[in-house]
RNA sequence: GGCCCCGUGGUGUAGUGGACUAACAUGCCACCCUGUCACGGUGGAGAUCGGGGGUUCGAAUCCCCCCGGGGUCGCCA
């Protein structure tokens, strides 16, 4: 026998009754009744109950009494209908069972360090150390399968649209202006290094010059920066690029791809269609972030004009110093206790705000017109008139019984803190439906942002992003006003994709590099290959790169991308499964011409 | 680099200065059990409470340092 299995455990149904089957898998659970032993046998396809009856086979029954959790076993027998009344509706295979007349233990197993057969919380470091066991669990198996289905859909979809998949190198050239690079020392060239790609950006643009026209790749990207729930040192992007297109083409492609992918792979999840489009300015104004969670409202409103003339020094001084006063309305939260308000205050202070002004609007429902000063609970009542409070409540769309949360300070801090508060309150009030994927496009980004520390212009996206045609003339006089042909796709508060129409002439590209502070030598050394390529008939082109880990995370309903990566790294960038990074032998270092520095 | 949370039998939790000789569930081991499916029953083994130091008559519990995991700000063109 070459194959140990004639069927998968999970596929057996009533129609198989009478068939002799060969199965193999892991012991999920054992129920030993003394004479009769039931084993739930598990393989990738599912679980089926197999029965060891000493009256059928005494030797099989003896072997089965030795079986324990996670033993690897092979069984053969006849598929039988379960006796009436003993069917198990919880199992897809619950109408049948396999009466075993031949079996073998292929391998034993130690008692696993955590439950494989139960969906209980286990400390993540333990799961990662024994990731191969963790991946046996239903949740991880489901996530791996979903990821496969998503990636397969992407490949099929893009193939049907005429894209071709091209691989680009993993050993490329360091580009220190972006994220920190992962470096690979060169054995053949002492003192020189390759870098792992932060993204295949320049290579895919060269593929456009090469006439590929429609390219994509499931691309591993590497960035040596600190991790987050949605950020890993290495991650996967659906990298794609097209020639002879404009921004609208990319957005249409994305919407078509993601909408049909969700409808195919996760039909139970809902979307807002067509995907809403917000300008960067609108997103920042109403959500305080360029990646808003649009599953709920609770929009931020600017209250500066209302309170500018008030006697409340916190508000007045913030505005006088060039700051803003903005707030949100937490519906129905007037009953918040002192303790809960203190908690929120602590939250905003940890984020860098000076404090949180809370205004409780009465205790029961009703029209805000009936509000009296006695019904308002807030430190602000001493300094702010009832009229101002009513105006703020109206501006925030508040009703009686609601809680206003107001932050004053520098615009950047105010936005960041209110974004956090909005998401926190949305979470507490369960406003974000987990079965909704609220995709949206963010457009009209500024091309450049001022780096205050360095006193220099930096690319908002990357230096290859084309400025809007009508703004090109502003590059010389007012760079901050130049809008880029840059777009993001966001979903549920997560940046899912970023892309742009690229510069495709060396003249304009050089101009941008110079604006970013590079001199001619630096431009030549770092980007000479790209600029030269542009002089050989580079077509207009643009593209986008959706993060695969993130979209799988959202579709799997997970909180971190580690749950959808087979072997993820910890927050401190270690791999607990294989214990990486690790020391290397002195001989390896010597071969690479490396000497370790003494760190103080 | 900053701030915050977590670490108690194999696993998940309870215990927040004395009654803890550390509890509960589950897992594990042994025996019993022919229809269970998170099988059931009886019995048993198993943690000096992440590590180190300190305070105290007394520390799982309070303080300090360290280690590990997580969240986040900075960082992520």
Report pLDDT for A272: 95
Which nucleotide has its C1' atom closest to residue A420's CA? Answer: B72
Which nucleotide has its C1' atom closest to residue A87's CA? Answer: B37
Which nucleotide has its C1' atom closest to residue A179's CA? Answer: B76
CA–CA gap between residue A287 and residue A300 (Å, rounded): 6
Q: Residue A265: CB partners within 8 Å, gap ≥ 6? A: A146, A149, A150, A153, A555
**Which residue is nearest to the C1' sugar atom of B69, using CA?**
A125
- Bond before A274 cis per omega within 30 degrees: yes
List C-alpha distances in Å: A93 to A12, A31, A46, A56, A591.
6, 17, 8, 22, 58
Which H/E stretch holds residue A236?
A: strand A234-243
Name the region of A70 (left: φ>0; alpha: ψ -120 to 50; beta: rest).
left
pLDDT (tens, 9 = 90+) of chain A, 600 residues, equals 557 899 999 999 999 999 999 999 999 999 999 999 999 999 999 999 999 999 999 999 999 999 999 999 999 999 999 999 999 999 999 999 999 999 999 999 999 999 999 989 999 999 999 999 999 999 999 999 999 999 999 999 999 999 999 999 999 999 877 899 999 999 999 999 999 999 999 999 999 999 999 999 999 999 999 999 999 999 999 999 999 999 999 999 999 999 999 999 999 999 999 999 999 999 999 999 999 999 999 999 999 999 988 889 889 989 998 899 999 999 999 988 888 888 888 889 888 888 899 999 987 767 888 888 888 889 888 888 999 999 999 999 999 999 999 999 999 999 999 999 999 999 989 999 999 999 999 999 999 998 877 778 999 999 999 999 999 999 999 999 999 999 999 999 999 999 999 999 999 999 999 999 999 999 999 999 999 999 999 999 999 999 999 999 999 999 999 999 999 999 999 999 999 999 999 999 999 999 998 775
Report pLDDT for A567: 97
Which nucleotide has its C1' atom closest to residue A113's CA? Answer: B10
**Which residue is nearest to the C1' sugar atom of B27, using CA?**
A115
3 state DSSP class of A414: helix
Distance in angstroms, CA of A37 to C1' of B30? Answer: 18
For chain A, give the longest Cα–Cα distance: 93
Q: Which of A253, A254, A276, A204 is nearest to A442 (CA)?
A: A276
Q: Residue A430: CB partners within 8 Å, gap ≥ 6? A: none
Name the region of A2 (left: φ>0; alpha: ψ -120 to 50; beta: rest).
alpha
CA–CA gap between residue A41 and residue A76 (Å, rounded): 12
Which nucleotide has its C1' atom closest to residue A90's CA? Answer: B37
Q: Are A332 and A366 in contact (CB under 8 A)?
A: no
Domains of chain A: 9-107 (2.40.50.140), 120-268+547-595 (3.30.930.10), 296-431 (3.30.1360.30)
Q: Are A333 and A402 in contact (CB under 8 A)?
A: yes
Q: Are A488 and A495 in contact (CB under 8 A)?
A: yes
Distance in angstroms, CA of A344 to C1' of B1? Answer: 25
CA–CA gap between residue A572 and residue A226 (Å, rounded): 8
CA–CA gap between residue A562 and residue A551 (Å, rounded): 12
Per-residue tokens: A25: 């898998």
Distance in angstroms, CA of A5 to C1' of B12? Answer: 36
Please provide residue A10's backbone torsions phi and psi, each rounded to the nearest 5 degrees: -75, -10
Q: Which of A520, A465, A60, A443 is nearest to A254 (CA)?
A: A443
Distance in angstroms, CA of A54 to C1' of B39? Answer: 19
Number of neighbours of residue A434 by Cβ within 10 angstroms: 11
- Bond before A513 cis per omega within 30 degrees: no
Which H/E stretch holds residue A32?
A: strand A20-32
Q: Which of A222, A251, A216, A217 is nearest to A234 (CA)?
A: A222
Which nucleotide has its C1' atom closest to residue A229's CA? Answer: B71
Distance in angstroms, CA of A122 to C1' of B59? Answer: 28
**Which residue is nearest to the C1' sugar atom of B77, using CA?**
A178
Distance in angstroms, CA of A253 to C1' of B29? Answer: 61
ipTM: 0.94
DSSP secondary-structure letter at A95?
T
**Which residue is nearest to the C1' sugar atom of B4, using CA?**
A350
Distance in angstroms, CA of A85 to C1' of B34? Answer: 16
Q: Which of A315, A166, A311 is nearest to A241 (CA)?
A: A166
Which nucleotide has its C1' atom closest to residue A451's CA? Answer: B77
Report pLDDT for A600: 55
Distance in angstroms, CA of A233 to C1' of B17? Answer: 45
Q: Are A295 and A492 in contact (CB under 8 A)?
A: yes
Q: Which of A299, A330, A289 is nearest to A430 (CA)?
A: A330
Number of neighbours of residue A476 by Cβ within 10 angstroms: 10
Q: Are A542 and A250 in contact (CB under 8 A)?
A: yes
Distance in angstroms, CA of A319 to C1' of B55? Answer: 49
């Amino acid at each position: 026998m070459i194959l140990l299995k004639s069927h998968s455990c999970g596929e057996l149904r009533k129609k198989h009754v009478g068939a002799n089957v060969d199965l193999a898998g892991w012991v999920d659970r054992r129920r030993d009744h003394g004479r009769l032993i039931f084993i739930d046998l598990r393989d990738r396809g599912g679980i089926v109950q197999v029965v060891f009856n000493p009256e059928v086979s005494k030797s099989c029954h003896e072997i089965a009494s030795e079986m324990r959790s996670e033993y690897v076993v092979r069984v053969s027998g006849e598929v039988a209908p379960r006796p009436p009344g003993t069917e198990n509706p919880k199992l897809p295979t619950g109408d049948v069972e396999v009466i075993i007349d031949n079996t073998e233990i292929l391998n034993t197993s130690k008692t696993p360090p955590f439950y494989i057969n139960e969906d209980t919380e286990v400390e993540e470091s333990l799961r990662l150390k024994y990731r191969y066991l963790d991946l046996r669990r239903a949740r991880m198996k489901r996530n791996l399968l979903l990821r496969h289905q998503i990636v397969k859909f992407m490949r099929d979809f893009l193939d049907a649209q005429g894209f071709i998949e091209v691989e680009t190198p993993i050993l490329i050239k360091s580009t220190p202006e972006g994220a920190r690079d992962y470096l690979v020392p060169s054995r053949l060239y002492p003192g020189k290094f390759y870098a792992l790609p932060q993204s295949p950006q320049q290579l895919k643009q060269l593929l456009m010059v090469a006439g590929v026209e429609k390219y994509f790749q499931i691309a591993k990207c590497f960035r040596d920066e600190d991790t987050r729930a949605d950020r890993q040192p290495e991650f996967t992007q659906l990298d794609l690029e097209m020639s002879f297109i404009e921004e609208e083409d990319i957005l249409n492609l994305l919407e078509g791809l993601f909408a049909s992918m969700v409808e195919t792979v996760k039909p139970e999840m809902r979307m807002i269609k067509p995907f809403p489009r917000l300008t960067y300015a609108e997103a920042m104004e109403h959500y305080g972030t360029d990646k808003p969670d649009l599953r709920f409202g609770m929009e931020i409103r600017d209250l500066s004009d209302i309170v500018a003339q008030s006697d409340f020094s916190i508000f007045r001084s913030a505005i006088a110093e060039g700051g803003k006063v903005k707030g949100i309305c937490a519906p129905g939260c007037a009953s918040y206790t002192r303790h809960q308000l203190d908690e929120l205050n602590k939250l905003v202070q940890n984020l860098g705000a000076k404090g949180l002004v809370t205004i409780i609007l009465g205790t029961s429902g009703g029209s805000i017109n009936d509000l009296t000063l006695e019904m308002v609970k807030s430190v602000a009542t001493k300094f702010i008139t009832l009229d101002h409070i009513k105006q703020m409540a109206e501006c925030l769309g508040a009703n009686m019984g609601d809680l206003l949360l107001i932050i004053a300070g520098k615009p950047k801090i105010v936005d960041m803190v209110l974004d956090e508060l909005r998401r926190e309150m949305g979470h507490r009030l369960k406003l974000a439906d987990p079965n909704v994927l609220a995709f949206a496009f963010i457009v009209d980004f500024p091309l450049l942002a001022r780096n205050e520390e360095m006193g220099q212009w930096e690319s908002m996206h990357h230096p290859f992003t084309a400025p809007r045609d009508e703004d090109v003339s502003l590059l010389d006089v007012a760079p901050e006003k130049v809008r880029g042909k840059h777009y993001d796709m966001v979903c549920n508060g997560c940046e899912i994709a970023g892309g742009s129409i690229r510069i495709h002439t060396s003249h304009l590209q050089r101009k941008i590099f110079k604006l970013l502070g590079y001199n001619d030598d630096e431009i030549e050394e770092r980007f000479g290959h790209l600029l030269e390529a542009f002089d050989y008939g580079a077509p207009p082109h643009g593209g986008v790169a959706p993060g695969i880990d993130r979209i799988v995370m959202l579709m799997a309903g997970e909180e971190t991308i580690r749950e959808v990566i087979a072997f993820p790294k910890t927050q401190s960038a270690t791999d607990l499964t294989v214990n990486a990074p690790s020391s290397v032998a002195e001989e390896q270092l010597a071969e690479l011409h490396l000497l370790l520095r003494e760190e103080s």
